[in-house]
Each structure stands twice: as structure tokens, then as C-alpha cells.
Amino acid sequence: MLGVARCDNFKKRLSNFDTVNDVDHKIAVTEKVADDVQRPINATRSERLRNNNAMFFFNFQQAVPKMGLLDIKEGNQREVQSDCWRVN
């Protein structure tokens, strides 16, 4: 998951969309292109990364290709949700 929705009105739209609208607000399920294992950063891990440049750069090197697989929208394809309580 990339990011977290904190607006209660927006969270409700993720699963309880209004079928009267032309837009289906369900989240589309996509194929996994990278592993989905969560590796939480905690104080111990942060400390190890700070004190070990080789570990940091190895982890960074592993993350860059995964970042390249993200489907980032550009130009006219992107949508900015300026108010989470309104449908664009």
C-alpha cells in the first residue's frame, strides 16, 4: 500500500460506492508485480541503516526497481483529490 486515507468520508467511498454515478469507486485489484511483504521500519532497523552504509545502499538498490513498477499517472491522466469529501 502506498499512503493512507485518513478522511472518513473518503474511506467510505472505497467500498460503499453509489451505483447511480457513472464512476465505479471500487478499488481495482491489480496483479502483484513485486512482493507485498511489509517490512516495518522500527527504531532498531533505522539505527542499523544509519550505522551501516552498505546495508542502506543495498536496501535502496533493491527498492529502486520496485519504485519503477509503480503506475504513476502523468499529464492529463493524473487526478488530484484536493478535497477528500468531494467526488472529482
Is this structure's pTM higher than 0.85? no
**Mean pLDDT (whole number) for 19-29:** 54
* pLDDT on residue 58: 92
- 22 by Cβ neighbours in 10 Å (0-12 / 13-18 / 19+) ranks as exposed
- 47 by Cβ neighbours in 10 Å (0-12 / 13-18 / 19+) ranks as exposed
Q: What residue segments make up the domains of the chain, in order of their start?
A: 8-70
DSSP 76: G
Higher per-residue confidence, 29 vs 10:
10
**Mean pLDDT (whole number) for 11-23:** 58
**CA 10 to CA 88: how far, in whole Å?**
12
Lowest mean pLDDT among 4-13, 48-57, 71-80: 4-13
Place of cell 447511480: 20
pLDDT band at 70 (very low <50, low <70, confident <90, very high): confident
- 10 by Cβ neighbours in 10 Å (0-12 / 13-18 / 19+) ranks as middle
